[in-house]
Amino acid sequence: MEQTFDKLPAAVSEIDRKLDLLLAMAEVKPEKDYLLTLEQLVDYLPEHPAHQTVYGWVNDRKVPHEKHGRRLYFRKSTIDTWLSNGRQMTAIVKPLR
């Protein structure tokens, strides 16, 4: 289709309408919060620490974590908050025993 200068406003309006439709279809939905395993956490963290390093952080209560039975998990939203706060623990979720 050949565009002329006279048809330019209509073409721009059509492009704008199509762009609005595309943006509406591509609306980003919030991610579900989920648990990361130790391996997933190591892959997720920017410096990819060794497993033993993460175990040390858990032992020193430097990283937020959850234990379900004998398994160790890390909630993604909590890890994101921890990273954005400069890796400082703001509160201990569970009391020391």
Instruction: Give 54-94 pLDDT, tens digit per residue.
Output: 999 999 999 999 999 999 999 999 999 999 988 876 555 55
- Domain with 69, as residue range(s), is 35-84
What domain count does the chain have?
1
Residue with the bigger pLDDT between 36 and 21: it is 36
Q: How confident is the prediction for the chain on average, in pLDDT?
A: 86
**Confidence at residue 26, expressed as pLDDT on a 0 to 100 scale:** 76
Flag whether 93 is in a domain: no
Instruction: Describe the strand order of the beta sheet including 71-75 as a list of residue ranges.
Output: 35-36, 71-75, 66-68
Flag whether 48 is in a domain: yes
